[in-house]
């Protein structure tokens, strides 16, 4: 099966089911649905970055970064899922990121915890089913895990347990445990998914800050290898670093892991002296930019295209973008990975421009060259 099949309409998906030996099962058995995608060099594209994008649109408060939008404006959540499906994601991840007990407690909405999770999961499931895509539930770093305080482990495990159980009840095909900076907490997440996840696969990602070790001092390649050996279906990196500073680590992880590797950088121009987006500074003023002023160091589409190609070349087969993502970046990624989501209908064609394109040569656009000169010559 071509791995872009799931971006097409239902009728085409149904046709393709008949040419594929395991097709019936890929639609009905969760662990097969994710894992089968990687057969014969297949890949999975995943849109993330909902939190950042809702903040940018004025529906989520920076600082707390809590997904209240799920309850306050559920139609916006559905619409954003649809936008990312339109631009090529294979997975609809329920927007429960930071929708855990500790975060809800911070804003006095602990009573809304289960409702928020279930609404987010139901919306994601509806969108995924409508398009024949995978739906993922998610758990993430809790903020309260402390390797020096084993008493914190039980609290963390209980937070994972309740979110995993809700996700499974609402039909998640697999679980994502993401943005862990402590290896120990990532392992707790994996164990909780294995214990309470009804057999669905676990994707476990770590967030690489500075230096190249987890905050409990394990080099990322070793941490990923250990998570893989412990049974994670996909391991890798998510958030924290931009394409340029995540890629060197991904290459090291690729060398030591056997299975699918996840890569979800933030689309910002991190460099070796500012490896994380939290450390980026304004190139003009030197003022720190995180979290709300980062647009001046955002990647452009060519950066994302280059990153996508490099990922493809080194065998990254679970790939997406985290905080700062937008549908147009997903389309770049999808095109490099050989997909044709509906958004490709509107991919740029500069030849149509009567200032910059082939059309400008037509007699009726004779003033084009003068206008072009005025536009681009600068001072």
- Residues interacting with Zn ion, by CB under 5 A? 239, 322-323
- Inter-residue contact 372 to 38 (CB < 8 Å): no
Q: Which of 110, 194, 104, 94 is nearest to 143 (CA)?
A: 104
- Residue closer to Zn ion by CB (options 328, 344) is 328
Q: Which of 230, 235, 245 is nearest to 205 (CA)?
A: 235
Is 323 known as a binding-site position? Answer: yes
Q: Work out how close the CB of 52 gets to Zn ion at its nearest, in angstroms, rounded to a whole number.
A: 6
CA distance 49 to 266: 8
Q: 18 burial class (0-12, 13-18, 19+ CB within 10 angstroms)?
A: exposed
Is 140 known as a binding-site position? Answer: no
- Residue closer to Zn ion by CB (options 1, 333) is 333
Q: Is the peptide bond before 211 cis (omega within 30 degrees of 0)?
A: yes
- Inter-residue contact 186 to 177 (CB < 8 Å): yes
Q: What is the DSSP string of 46-73?
A: EE--HHHHHHHTTSS-TTT---THHHH-
- Inter-residue contact 147 to 184 (CB < 8 Å): yes
- Residue closer to Zn ion by CB (options 6, 50) is 50
Q: Work out how close the CB of 352 gets to Zn ion at its nearest, in angstroms, rounded to a whole number.
A: 35
Q: How far apart are the first and last CA of the chain?
A: 54
- Inter-residue contact 293 to 319 (CB < 8 Å): no
Q: Work out how close the CB of 41 gets to Zn ion at its nearest, in angstroms, rounded to a whole number.
A: 27
- Residue closer to Zn ion by CB (options 68, 170) is 68
Strand stretches in the chain, DSSP E:
44-47, 91-93, 134-140, 174-180, 202-206, 234-238, 261-264, 318-321
Q: Work out how close the CB of 19 gets to Zn ion at its nearest, in angstroms, rounded to a whole number.
A: 37
- Residue closer to Zn ion by CB (options 14, 295) is 295
Q: Work out how close the CB of 27 gets to Zn ion at its nearest, in angstroms, rounded to a whole number.
A: 30
- Residue closer to Zn ion by CB (options 168, 304) is 304
Helix (H) or strand (E) holding 335, with range, is helix 327-336
Q: Work out how close the CB of 325 gets to Zn ion at its nearest, in angstroms, rounded to a whole number.
A: 8
- Inter-residue contact 351 to 358 (CB < 8 Å): yes
Q: Work out how close the CB of 51 gets to Zn ion at its nearest, in angstroms, rounded to a whole number.
A: 7
- Residue closer to Zn ion by CB (options 13, 44) is 44
Name the binding residues for Zn(2+): 239, 322-323
Name the binding residues: 239, 322-323
């Amino acid at each position: 099966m071509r791995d872009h099949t799931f971006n097409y309409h239902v009728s085409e998906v149904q046709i393709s089911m008949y040419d594929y030996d395991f097709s019936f099962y890929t639609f009905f058995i969760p662990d097969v649905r994710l894992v089968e995608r990687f057969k014969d060099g297949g890949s999975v594209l995943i849109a993330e970055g909902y939190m950042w994008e809702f903040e940018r649109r004025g529906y989520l408060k920076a600082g707390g970064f809590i997904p209240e939008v799920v309850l306050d404006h559920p139609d916006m959540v559905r619409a954003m899922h649809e936008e990312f499906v339109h631009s090529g994601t294979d997975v609809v991840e329920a927007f429960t990121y930071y929708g855990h007990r500790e975060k809800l407690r911070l804003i006095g909405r602990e009573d809304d915890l289960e409702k928020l999770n279930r609404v987010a999961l139901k919306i994601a499931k509806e969108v995924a089913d409508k398009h024949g895509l995978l739906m993922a539930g998610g758990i993430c770093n809790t903020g309260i895990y402390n390797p020096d305080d084993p008493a914190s482990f039980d609290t963390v495990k209980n937070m994972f347990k309740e979110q995993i159980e809700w996700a499974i009840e609402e039909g998640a095909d697999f679980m994502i445990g993401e943005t862990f900076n402590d290896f120990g907490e990532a392992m707790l997440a994996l164990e909780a998914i294995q214990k309470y996840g009804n057999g669905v696969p676990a994707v476990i990602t770590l967030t690489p800050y500075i230096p190249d070790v987890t905050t409990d001092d394990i080099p990322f390649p070793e941490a990923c290898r250990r998570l893989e050996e412990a049974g994670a279906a996909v391991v890798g990196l998510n958030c924290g670093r931009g394409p340029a500073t995540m890629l060197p680590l991904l290459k090291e992880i690729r060398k030591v892991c056997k299975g699918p590797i996840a890569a979800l950088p933030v689309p910002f121009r991190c460099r070796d002296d500012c490896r994380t987006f939290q450390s980026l500074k304004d190139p003009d003023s030197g003022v720190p930019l995180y979290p709300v002023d980062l647009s001046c160091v955002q990647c452009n589409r060519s950066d994302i295209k280059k990153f996508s190609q490099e990922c493809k070349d080194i065998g990254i087969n679970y790939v997406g973008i985290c905080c700062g993502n937008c549908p147009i970046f997903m389309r770049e990624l999808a095109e490099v990975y050989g997909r044709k989501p509906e958004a490709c209908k509107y991919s740029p064609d500069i030849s149509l421009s009567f200032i910059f394109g082939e059309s400008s040569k037509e007699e009726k656009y004779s003033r084009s060259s003068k206008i072009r000169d005025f536009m681009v010559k600068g001072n």
